[in-house]
């Protein structure tokens, strides 16, 4: 199987600090900053052979109903990874936030055999990625 990597964001430079890239992202709220930082870490130091993708949020009110018509569930996790044959998911919540909508989707993923966690803040997200050996 070939090396399939997610597309790097515009302006991303090899060797750039993942945190600095996320902190300086224009118009980013706290949740977006966490997502960008997680992606930047995976791009910069992600372990070879780890597949990952971020699931975009449908923040546009016109897009949400359209994607639901395609079968998209409420409460999808932010990040899906496949590591050593294990399917993992990570929901990224800003520190002090709530993960109420995600519970039904989390239960469905677990029932299907996937493993996952909810991380509150960037530090918790990076700690979980380290525990799964996605990053060093």
Domain boundaries, the chain: 18-131
The answer, yes or no, to whether residue 2 has pLDDT greater than 50, is no
Q: Which residue, chain included where needed, has tokens 């294990």?
A: 86
Cα–Cα distance for residue pair 88/113, rounded to 1 Å: 9
Mean of all residue pLDDT scores within the chain: 78
In three-state secondary structure terms, 50 is coil
Give the per-residue pLDDT at 28: 44
Answer whether residue 132 shows pLDDT above 50. Answer: yes
Residue with the larger pLDDT of the pair 132 and 59: 132
**Cβ-defined contacts of 51-60 (< 8 Å, 24+):** 51/4, 51/81, 51/82, 51/83, 52/6, 52/79, 52/80, 52/81, 52/82, 52/134, 53/6, 53/79, 53/80, 54/6, 54/78, 54/79, 55/79, 55/80
- Over range 1-22, report the average pLDDT: 52
Mean pLDDT of 90-109: 82
18-131 CATH fold: Trna Endonuclease; Chain: A, domain 1 (3.40.1350)
Percentage above 90 pLDDT, the chain:
37
Residue 104 has pLDDT above 90, yes or no: no
- With cut-offs at 50, 70 and 90, classify the pLDDT of residue 1: very low
- pLDDT tens per residue across span 20-31: 544 444 334 577
């Amino acid at each position: 199987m070939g090396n399939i990597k997610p597309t790097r964001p515009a302006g991303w430079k090899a060797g750039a600090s993942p945190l600095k890239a996320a902190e300086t992202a224009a118009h980013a709220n706290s949740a977006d900053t966490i997502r960008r930082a997680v992606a930047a870490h995976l791009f910069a130091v992600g372990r070879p052979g780890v597949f990952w993708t971020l699931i975009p949020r449908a923040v546009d009110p016109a897009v949400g109903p359209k994607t639901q018509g395609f079968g998209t569930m409420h409460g999808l996790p932010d990040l899906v990874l496949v590591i050593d044959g294990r399917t993992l998911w990570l929901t990224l919540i800003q520190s002090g936030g709530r993960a109420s909508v995600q519970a039904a989707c989390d239960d469905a993923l677990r029932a299907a055999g996937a493993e996952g966690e909810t991380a509150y803040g960037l530090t918790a997200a990076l700690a979980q990625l380290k525990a799964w050996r996605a990053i060093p």
